[in-house]
Amino acid sequence: MRSREGRGGFSLLEILVALSVMVVGMTSILVLFAVGVTTHKRSVDQMNAALAAESIFSEIEANYTVLRISQWKKTEAQKSRKKGWKGRSVDEKNYLKDVPEKGADEPKVPDFPGYRYRMAYSRLDPDGNAVLAELTIVWQKGGDPVSESYAKVIFKKPF
C-alpha cells in the first residue's frame, strides 16, 4: 500500500477556500460593472440634457432680434383681430411664447426623445435688450423625474 504522502491532489478544504476566494472576486467585479453602467447612463443623460439646453438656447438667440419681434407683433395683432380677441397685448415676452414658463405643460425637446423642458425668463433691462433665460431639462429615470437647470443671458440682436 502506498502512503498518503505520496499522493498528489487537493483536499476538500483547499478546494472550498479556493472557490470562496473566486466567488468573492467575481462578486466584486460584477458590482463594479453595475456601478459603471449606472454612472455611464447618468453621464449620457446629463450630456443629452446639456446638448438639448444648448439647442434651445441657440433657437432663442437666433430668433430674438428687433426686426423679428416687430414682425411677430404685427402678425399676432392681425391674428387677434381676425379671431376677435380685443385688447390682447403683444410684447417681447410673448415673442418667446413657444418656450413655456414654470408651471406650464412641459413640451418635448426636439430630437431628444424622453426629454422635456421648462423655461423662465426675465428682462435684465427695461428695454428688453437682454433677458435672463433659465431652462430646466426634465427626463424620467426609473419612474422618477430627474432635472438639470441651466441659465444664459440672451441679448437682442439688431437686424
Spatial CA neighbour of 64 closest among 99, 88, 89, 108? 99
Please tell me the predicted confidence (pLDDT) of residue 137: 93
Most confident of 80-84, 105-109, 145-149: 145-149
Q: What is the 3-state secondary structure (H, E, C) of 41-102?
A: HHHHHHHHHHHHHHHHHHHHHHHCEHHHHHHHHHHHHHHHHHHCCCCCCCCHHHHCCCCCCC
Q: What is the mean pLDDT of residues 30-57?
A: 92
Residue 88 pLDDT greater than 70, yes or no:
no
pLDDT tens digit sequence for 61-82: 877 765 455 565 666 666 666 6
pLDDT, position 66: 52
Of 87 and 74, the structure prediction assigns the larger pLDDT to 74
